Structure 1
Amino acid sequence: MSNEANSRKRRRESYNVDVRQVEIYEDLASEKDEVRLKAAHELVSRFTPESKPTEEQINKTLQRLFRGLCSGRKAARIGFSIALTEVLSQVFALIQPAAESSAVKVSDVIQAFLSVTSVSGNTSQELRDHYLGTLFGAEAIIKSGILFQPGVPSQEWDRIVAALVDLGKAKPWLREECGWILWRALYELASRNADAKYPESVIEIINSKDLVKSPEGVAIWLLVQDSFPTAKLPQELWRYNNDPLDRRDMSTLVKIMKQASEAEEGSQSASSGVWNSKLHFAWDAILKRVHDTKSGEDKQDKRDKKMRKESRISFEEFWKEVVDNGLFAASSSEERKYWGFSLFMKILDEAPIQRAETIFTKNLIRCLINQLAVEDRYLHRMAVKAAKTIQKRVSTEPEFAAAAVNGLLGSSGSFQFDQITKTKTVEKIVIEAGPQSLKKIVQLLGRLVASPGTDEIKAASAGRQYLADLFVSVVRSRSSAGEEFGPILQDILSVLVRFAYFGGEQEKQELIAKPQLSQTTQELFRNRITSCLNSVVSNINDPAEVAYKVVRQIRDYQKSEEYGKFIIEIDGAIAESVEAAFKSLKKLSSKVKHDGSNSKDASIQAFRLVYSLTILQVYNGDADAVSMLDELAFCYSKFWGDKKSKKEDKSDASNALVEILLSFASKPSKLFRRMSEQVFGVFAGQITADGLQSLISVVEVKENLAGQREMFDQQDDEDEEMEDAGSLDSDDDSVEVIDADDASDEDEDEDENEEEEDDEEELAAFDAKLAEALGTHRADQDLEGDESSSDADMNDDEMEAVDEMLVKVFKARRQATSKKKDKQDAKETMTNFKNRVLDLLEIYVKKCHASILALDLVLPLLRLTRKSAVKQISQKASDILREYTRLCKGNAIATLVAELGQEDADEDGEPAIEPVWDLLRAVHKEAMLSGPAAHSVSASQASVFLVKVLVAHDKQNIAGVVDIYAETRKAQMLNNKCHVQPAFFTDWNNWCVNAGKTMKS
């Protein structure tokens, strides 16, 4: 009884508990970095020389830290390992030297560590915690440096090394971490010129555990070889020169880096058996050696003079055998290929161009293509990341683009890389390429066009189309990038010219395209030349020179037949016209070089551009281009050839040039549209009334089949129906307002319902003819006569007759469908043509709004705003008219009035201002007609503008203007068919208020 009482009494005894230290241990396990670091700092401060810690305090703290390493809660291992490292460093810094005779011995520390972290527990989690505690504790002891202090026996180092090696051997999932700790420790020892006994013991221990031929063993072996020249390494472990990187033993290295040793069949000792997505540190060690073949050469010679430098594996050999034929072999697992992609990206990020350009090997590129092509592939995301890494390297180092494109499209890759993978990888790389790199790329692409690497015609054509589109992408992206890219753009056009216009046998075998280009492909290349020139015309200062070089190159290749015979047939007369054009171009080129006038240079360059593109059209087989060449020759002679040419001759030349530009504008090509705009902008000031009328005549025809025939002089004897005839020219300004309005309403209704009615009529006619041929009737119709007659059997003759009738019925149906399509095509053609002509008129308005000729545009644009069935055309005409009235004010109106004053009276003796009055009256008549909202606004703007012109000419004209507005107001009030809008008079009243103040002052 007394003993029990004494026991209870003893348990109730109070102990001196350091509450703050308990809190420190708790904070060491915190998940917050700042809390852990603060606790570690406070704990270490208790073991400074000033604190004078006792042996008991030191031992208790170390025991507590060792136990904490085996804790699985929160971030205990991280916090306790940091604290352990610092406490050990601080404690043994007090002991100089740290000999075994000291109060606290290193051997006791190591023993305590091994004892606490020894495997214990029954659950897998408890076992795992002790394994990790051993790992973190060994790392902390090594980092503290206590094992390498003077007086510490090397056996203590051996005990820690053995603990790590045994742990890695027993638990493959920790092997890489154990190896990394040892590798890092040796690396630090090498930087301090430590004794060779440390690396020798590491090699001896890992060799005893059969781990030398593992990724960790290779990394450590290479480090010891390079950094410890005096270390004595075991012999005969590696077959040749005791070097794991000897080229004669590549197969062993391949197996090791694939996580499989030569002894794999009988033992798994060197295989980790666990896959980790993170790249093993051994790759860095090997890459460091193979990147620099001179690494450790002097030390190596000292250690083993028999080793020859030439026996070491080069980077190219390593990559081909270990990575390409190893990790990317067809039989390799997806996990190994994952490592391969990681290595690929690592080299792309870190290696110089000379190294990085060698890694685009066959198996790797094949795998990259396969994984990119299908989204649900296991490594698709990794392949996408690899492709983006290539693009990133090019964006930061543009000169790497040539190596990347060669790797993806060259012998190791596929010229259809982007097509197969459904990406724009190569295109993005090419666009980012620098000048020198892009030049190499153009040469490569040219070789691929000639020899795409396949004999299949269809595949070759598809690949060549892709390459041609790639050329266009380069030109589009680099045409405005600067003069340094100018020669490269010319090289691209040269390649396209070579394959677009020439074929057959060449003098040099290497110039022969295999397989031969089809006519479709060559036509495609000609279209791509046009696309390239389109970008050039838009973005560079001297597009005429580029276009001239293209046609001159075609002519030179045609004469030399270097790339085969010219595929376009050109007879003698056409050849003479082309040769004459080249002579004129040569003379114009000399004028540009010697003439210092910018305005003259601009007109010459514009003419050179249209001349060169016309020759290109001749080379493309355009029959109309030949007559255009003759007209250009006439223009050239009048503008520059004949110094004595009269003003009338130049007017004729200007009119001819306008017709040529209209011919180009009518073609469905962005190049010709932009070219016509550029040239027209230069020659706008020389346009005559006849030339301007040529433009106006285009916008005054309907957007339908009849308008197309009228504009392009087309004839169709089978279709002369009245509803398709007529144009805006048939409008008569002298017709009464009510009649004009009725006609306008009827035209609009007809435009809206014509297509629907035609469809219904065509369908009804087809049904009727089909019923007649078959002797049947529609379900909604009654059949008269004897119904049984339809059921009678037909003989052979009757069947043949029915067949013939069916053929006729369906033939008529096809013709009707074709006619409908022709109408739709005609509408689209005329709409596009009108759009382009309106673009030219917009240019004219911007450049020549102060010219008296610009007044001729007011009424046609106003009518077009009202009558066009295409909203886009109507709105565009309204915008141009608004722009005209906006620009023509102040000084511009004064210039216009001055020009009117210089005009002579007409044959009837009427003054030059009289047409302006007539124009104002016509505008008011237009304002009375029903139309879209833009029409009413445009009519008001045009009217006020003309009023400004008349008043600026003579203030007394205000009376006549008031009378015209009064007549319009009267019509608004008395005529039900007058649709003039209230805003028309509001704008007039606002102008009167402002103008009245000016005229009274």
Structure 2
Amino acid sequence: MPPSFYAPRKRRREPYNVDVKLVEIYEDLASEKDEIRLKAAQGLVSQFTPDKNPADDQIKKTLQRLFRGLCSSRKAARIGFSIALTEMLTQIFTVKREDSEVALADALRIWEAQSNNSGETRQEQRDYHFGRLFGAEAILKSAVLFEASVPFDYWTKVLGLIFELAQKKPWLREECGWIIYRCVYDLSVRKMDVKFLENTLETLCSHDLAKTPEGVAVWLAAKDMFPDAKFPPKVWKHDDPLDTKERSNLSKIMKESSAEEDQGEKKLKTSGTWNSKLHFAWDAVISRTTESTKSKGRLSFSDFWTEVVDNGLFASASSDERKYWGFLLFNKVLNEGTPSQASNVFTKNLVRCLTNQLAVEDRYLHRMAVKASKAIQTRVSNEPGFAAAAVGGLMGTAGAVNFDQATKTKTIEKIVADANREALEDIVPMFGKLLTHPGASDEKVAASNRQFIAGSLLSIVRAKASTGNDDSEEDFQAVLEQILSILVRFAYFPNTDDASTAPQPALSQATQEMLRNRINSSLNSLLTSPKYAAAIPYAVVKQIRDAIKSEEYGKFIINMDDKLQDSVKTAFKSLKKLSSKEKKGETSSISAFKLLYSMTVLQVYNGDPDAVSMLDELEFCYSKFMGEKDSKKEDTSDASDALVEILLSFASKQSQLFRRMSEQVFGAFADQVTENGLESLISILEAKESLAGQQEMFEEQDDDEDVEEVSENDEDDDNEDDEDMPDADEMDSDVEVVEAEDASDSEEEEEEEEEDEEDAAEVADFEAKLAAALGTHRGDKDLNAEESDSDADMNDDEMDAVDEKLAHVFRARRQATSQQKDKKNARENMVNFKNRVLDLLEIFVKKCHSRLLTLDLLLPLLRLSRRSSVKQISSKANNVLREYTKLCKGSAVPEIDDDSKPVWELLRSIHKEAAHSGPPAHATATSQASLLVVKVLVAHDKAEIAGVVDVYAETRKNQLCSTKCHVQPSFFTDWNNWCVSASKQLKN
């Protein structure tokens, strides 16, 4: 056999050259990074420039590779290959090549062949469809079809393939439509022959795509770019999809309302899939609607929005997916639309859907509704004038009066806070109308709506109150006065004989009280502004007075007798004089008096029985402070004392408004407070924090029976209070008292235990009395109980006797419960009152720390910090002391006039106070107070230091020898430190 049978020869492999660089370029074209794809496309196209003279085979292979790449399923491949293909086609077919035989027809054949639907799986088929779509886009973008040498049939062929794809594959219809839509603009820019456009429209209609969202967009673009072109007949009324007579058809088309739309003899399928992004046709339509509703022929934006969006996408029968599109449109117009367009999007169905979706977090479109709500707020924040349209849309006829309550949001509150003056001039009157007609006939619902409206008005006041602090800010005074005017109208004049202006339904007393509270809250916010603090309260009371006279709004809520009217009339005369003086040159005292007068008159209008006497006292103060300049000093001091009493009466009320007002007025007159006025403040600090203290302070007189019961039940408590609050004359014997009340932290626990024991004793006593009245015993005593005839029938007399006994037992129980409640309320009132007084004293200390009179505060504050069982009170007392001693530095130390004896007595009293056992803060406070008095004495005469040393020595002696002296070591440490720092000054 031949050798070849035993040793077969290897087949020789033909040489094959692989262009590694080209492989890398194709790989990079599919990269997800833009810069890599662009660099690869540039590298590929550069190989086909005329100077490189590429071969025809190379050109065809590259085109084939690029068209095939468009069919890839890789994420970014279509983008990269499309860019390269567009540039490649431009490079090859727009530049003359004498020796090249590659024609555009070859490229179109390659495109068709490579994108032919030859895939086996559904995914492969989708990839080929996308390849054909991207290939068509590249061909159109390259503009090779518009070359003069290119037959017009090529354009027709490409259009046909695109529309055929759109017709057969509805899920690609939007992308196909977008390519044609952009191509219409390219035709206009390149100034191509109108036949290109006319052929496009004919092909569009021949494929039954004219009445689709894509067809509408293409048609509208053609109308704009080629108004003189010949449009296919009988498609749209007046050849315009936005013709007013086409609104119904347009609505159906834009929302794709049916599974199949009749298009002549054929039926055109809708996309069948839902896209979470808005169709580009919406932009095309919205941008071409007219601004004015008076425009004839074409739909206005308002009509379009109502018909197509509100009655279409937001119809009650619409799916959640269409409503989702509706919210996308709503946000789009709010973010990008003109003011006129944005103002017209608050339509009935939309606002109802927005309200419902916002109200419940589990709703399918809740997140979209939240985005819509934020879009409204963002528009208002960027464009404050839009607030009027937003509030009107959300709360007007299309919305809900109580929008924020219904949606559990603060949308309206935030909108009105950002509104500018012009917007508020529209919003505030609308709120006034809503108070009259709150959109509900049910009284409870109406009351709730009115409460929300009043709260919205208050939100405006709070948001704009700070604008009075800066003259450069926008002036909101007129708007704020209008708000208060509306509240006054309904708070003080709820009923009127005029049926056209009468509130429907009528305002309840609770609603009237709520509105008066809103007035107080508004004024409280405005007190922080120097510009509004006095002006707006005066405007409020003046409006009430004028309305009472004119009876424009009906009868006033209270009957004012002649005496009351005379007092108010006199007060307004003084207010008028104050306003005149204010215009000449405003001072803090004038503004303070004006504010105080206004608030007192307001209290008269609120029916406060004490306000009338306060007006008379205020008139006395005004005559002394603002009267003739040669008024005697003692007359002014009397007026100052009376003014302090008036401010205390306001401060005693549980209202932040009156607290802030009293502080503001007190700050203006703090430097004129006399010794008697300061004593009035101090007496409150020394009052007991109990019912007895409240009765003593406010001079309450109870019935004899009540007094006896209180004295019997509170005997132990009063004794304890007497120990806690000794009189000033008994300070020397305080040491024994304090020893019985050490460890203030445990006092509260002991009091709670005592209260629990008292409650248990009261319950046991009640049960015993109840059992005695019924002739029974408690269930836990049944074990040892003997049989009795208690279950026997009783006659009428016996039943009456039992009823009388039961009534007596329950009456006693109610009285005991009422007394406990009175005790609790009295304690809270006294704590509140002391807090208010400490606020006033803090103001006094800041303004008058250099006055010798201020030293009178040291001892009362020290006692309060030790005795009070309320930590807030003791802490605030220490803070006032700390602030006082901090301010008294250098030359700011009070100066002694002549006699230093009272100051020496004060120093000894402070040292006795330091001997008491108290909380750590009390020890620190006594040391600071002692050193302050030392500074005052030494500043008066350096020789006084010897006596100061003797006082400290005596205190040290008591500390060492007496078990009743509880002076803390820090007391002497602070003294030693002061001696070291002051020794040089004392020797000079």
TM-score by length of 2: 0.94
Aligned residue for 1:677? Answer: 663
8 Å CA contact retained: 2:291, 2:340: no
CA distances 1:797-851 after superposition (whole Å, capped 9, x unpaired): 5555545444443443333222222222111111111001000001111111111
User: CA offsets, 1:203-234, max 9 Å, x none?
Assistant: 22221221111111111111112211232221
Structure 1 position 132 matched with structure 2 position 130: yes
Output one character per residue of 1:880-932: Cα deviation in whole Å (capped at 9) or x when no partner.
11111121232122xx32x422xxxxxxxxxx211111111111111111111
Q: 2-side partners of 1:664 and 1:254: how far apart? A: 65
- Give the C-alpha shift of residue 966 in structure 1: 1.5
Q: Which of 209, 217, 220 in structure 2 is aligned with 1:219? A: 217
Match of 2:716 among 707, 712, 723: 723
* 2:149 pairs with one of 145, 151, 157: 151
Residues 467/962 of structure 1: CA separation in 2 closer, same or farther (3 Å cut): same
1:755 partnered with 2:755? yes
Q: Which one of 512, 518, 523 corresponds to residue 522 of structure 1?
A: 512
For structure 1, list consecutive stretches of 5 or more residues without a partner in the other structure: 295-307, 902-911
Q: Which residue of 1 aligns with 2:926?
A: 939
- 1:17-51 deviation per Cα after TM superposition (whole angstroms, max 9, x unaligned): 21211221122122232222221111011011121
- The 3-state SS of whatever aligns with 1:543 is coil
- Alpha-carbon deviations, 1:440-482, whole Å to 9, x = none? 1111111111122222211111111111111111111111123
> What does residue 303 of structure 1 align with?
none
Offset at residue 397 of structure 1 (A): 0.6
- CA distance in 2 between counterparts of 1:790 and 1:469 reads 65
Secondary structure of 2:227's partner?
A: coil
Counterpart of 1:966, as a letter, is A
Moved more, 774-783 or 130-139: 774-783
Asked whether the 8 Å contact 1:475–1:535 carries over to 2, the reply is yes
Matches within 5 A, 1:1-16: 12-16=13-17
Q: Distance in 2 between the 1:118 and 1:285 partners?
A: 32
- Measured after TM superposition, the shift of residue 863 of structure 1 is 0.2
Q: Which amino acid aligns with 2:484?
A: L
SS of residue matched to 2:238? coil
Q: Give the one of 244, 254, 261 matched to 1:247.
A: 244
Aligned CA-pair RMSD: 2.5
Conserved? CA contact 2:775–2:790, under 8 Å = no
**Partner in structure 2 of residue 31 of structure 1:** 32
Deviation at 1:8, TM superposition (A): 10
**Corresponding position of 1:812:** 812
Please point out which of 441, 451, 459 is paired with 1:465.
Answer: 451
Residues 1:50 and 2:47 are matched in the alignment: no
- Match of 1:280? 279
Q: Does 1:591 align with 2:588?
A: no
1:736-767: per-residue Cα shift (whole Å, max 9, x none)?
Answer: 45423235449948645442332232122123
Please point out which of 880, 894, 897 is paired with 1:900: 897
The corresponding residue for 1:578 is 568
1:582 and 1:515 map into 2 onto residues whose CA distance is 35
Instruction: Please tell me whether residue 537 in structure 1 is matched to residue 549 in structure 2.
Output: no
Instruction: Output the CA distance in 2 between the equivalents of 1:979 and 1:462.
Output: 60
- TM-superposed CA distance for 1:69, in Å, is 1.1
Partner of 1:313: 299
Q: 1:630 aligns with which of 602, 616, 620?
A: 616
Structure 2 counterpart of 1:352, one-letter code: T
CA distance in 2: counterparts of 1:924 and 1:873, whole angstroms: 22
Identity %: 59
Q: Specify whether residues 194 and 573 from structure 1 end up closer, same or farther in structure 2 by C-alpha distance, changes over 3 A only.
A: same
When residues 812 and 293 of structure 1 are mapped into structure 2, their CA distance, relative to the original with a 3 A threshold, is closer
Matched, 1:867 2:853: no
For 1:290, give the aligned amino acid.
Answer: T
Count how many residue pairs are aligned between Structure 1 and Structure 2. 964
Matched, 1:512 2:499: no
Aligned-pair CA distance for 1:789: 1.4
Deviation at 1:720, TM superposition (A): 1.9
Partner of 1:494: 485
**Distance of 1:322 and 1:738 partners within structure 2:** 88
Q: Over residues 93-124 of structure 1, what are the superposed CA-to-partner deviations in whole Å (9 max), with x where a residue is unaligned? A: 32279xxx972211221111011101012111
Q: 1:751 and 1:864, CA in 2 relative to 1: closer, same or farther beyond 3 A?
A: farther
1:278-318 deviations in Å (ceiling 9; x for gaps)? 11111111112114689xxxxxxxxxxxxx97222111111
Which residue of 2 is the match for residue 304 of structure 1?
A: none
Structure 2 unaligned residues grouped into runs of 5+: 468-472
Q: Which amino acid is 2:829 matched to?
A: T
- Counterparts of 1:92-107 in structure 2, within 5 Å, are 92-95=93-96, 103-107=101-105
Equivalent-residue separation in structure 1 for 2:513 and 2:971 (angstroms): 55
Paired AA for residue 589 in structure 1: S
Partner of 2:176: 178
Q: For 1:610 and 1:350, locate their aligned partners in 2 and report how far apart those are by CA, in whole Å.
A: 51
Contact persistence 1:705–1:826 (CA under 8 A): yes
Q: What is the letter of the counterpart of residue 215 of structure 1?
A: P
Distance in 2 (CA, whole Å) between partners of 1:525 and 1:211 is 62
Answer whether contact 2:959 2:965 (CA < 8 A) is retained: yes
CA 1:106–1:801 in structure 2 vs 1: closer, same or farther (change >3 Å)?
A: farther
Distance 2:211 2:86 in 1: 31
Cα distance change, pair 31–642 in 1 and its aligned pair in 2 (3 A): closer
- The SS at the match of 1:269 is strand
CA–CA separation in structure 1 for the residues paired with 2:12 and 2:79: 35
Q: 2:349 aligns with which of 363, 369, 393?
A: 363
Question: Is contact 1:43-1:83 (8 Å) kept?
Answer: yes
Q: 1:723, CA displacement in angstroms?
A: 3.2
Name which of 470, 475, 493 aligns with 1:484: 475
**1:558 aligned to 2:536?**
no
What is the rounded CA distance, in whole Å, between the counterparts of 1:268 and 1:701 in structure 2? 93
Counterpart in 2 of 1:346?
332
Q: 1:262-288 CA deviation, whole Å, 9 max, x = no partner? A: 973796515222211111111111112
Q: Which stretch of the first structure deviates more once superposed, 29-38 or 279-288?
A: 29-38
The answer for the alignment partner of 1:913 in structure 2 is 900
Change (3 A) 1:11 1:316: farther
Q: Deviations over 1:624-660 (max 9, x none)?
A: 1011011111111222235554222211111110000
Matched, 1:116 2:114: yes
Q: 1:733 Cα deviation (Å)?
A: 3.8
Q: 1:452 to 1:275 in 2, by over 3 A?
A: same
Change (3 A) 1:729 1:710: farther
Match in the other structure for 2:441:
455
What is the CA–CA distance in structure 1 between the aligned matches of 2:317 and 2:925, rounded to whole Å?
Answer: 75
Q: Which segment drifts farther, 788-797 or 145-154?
A: 788-797
For the 8 Å contact 1:479–1:486, the answer to whether it is kept is no
For 2:190 and 2:61, locate their aligned partners in 1 and report how far apart those are by CA, in whole Å: 32
Q: How does 1:969-980 map to 2 (within 5 A)?
A: 969-980=956-967
Question: Measured at CA, do residues 375 and 2 of structure 1 come closer, stay the same or move farther in structure 2, by a change above 3 Å?
Answer: farther
Deviation of 1:616 after TM superposition, in Å, equals 0.4
Residues in 1 aligned to 2:398 and 2:292: alpha-carbon distance in whole angstroms: 25
Quick check: 1:770 aligned with 2:784?
no
Match in the other structure for 2:82? 81
CA deviation map 1:862-893 (0-9, x unaligned): 00000001001001101111111121232122
Matches within 5 A, 1:957-996: 957-996=944-983
TM-score (norm 1): 0.92
Kindly provide the amino acid, as one letter, of the partner of residue 854 in structure 2. A
Q: Which moved more, 1:765-774 or 1:791-800?
A: 791-800
Tell me, in whole angstroms, the C-alpha distance in 2 between the residues paired with 1:204 and 1:586. Answer: 83
**Shift of residue 135, structure 1, vs aligned partner:** 1.3
Larger mean Cα displacement after TM superposition, 520-529 or 387-396: 520-529
Counterpart-to-counterpart distance in 1, 2:858 and 2:247: 85
Partner of 2:637: 651
Give the partner amino acid of 1:764: A
Distance across 2 between alignment mates of 1:592 and 1:234: 78
Q: How does 1:424-435 map to 2 (within 5 A)?
A: 424-435=410-421
**Greater mean deviation of Cα atoms: 767-776 or 444-453:** 767-776
Query: Contact 1:85–1:141 at 8 Å: present in 2 too?
Result: yes
| Alignment-derived partner of residue 62 in structure 1 | 63
Displacement after TM superposition at 1:776 (Å) = 4.3
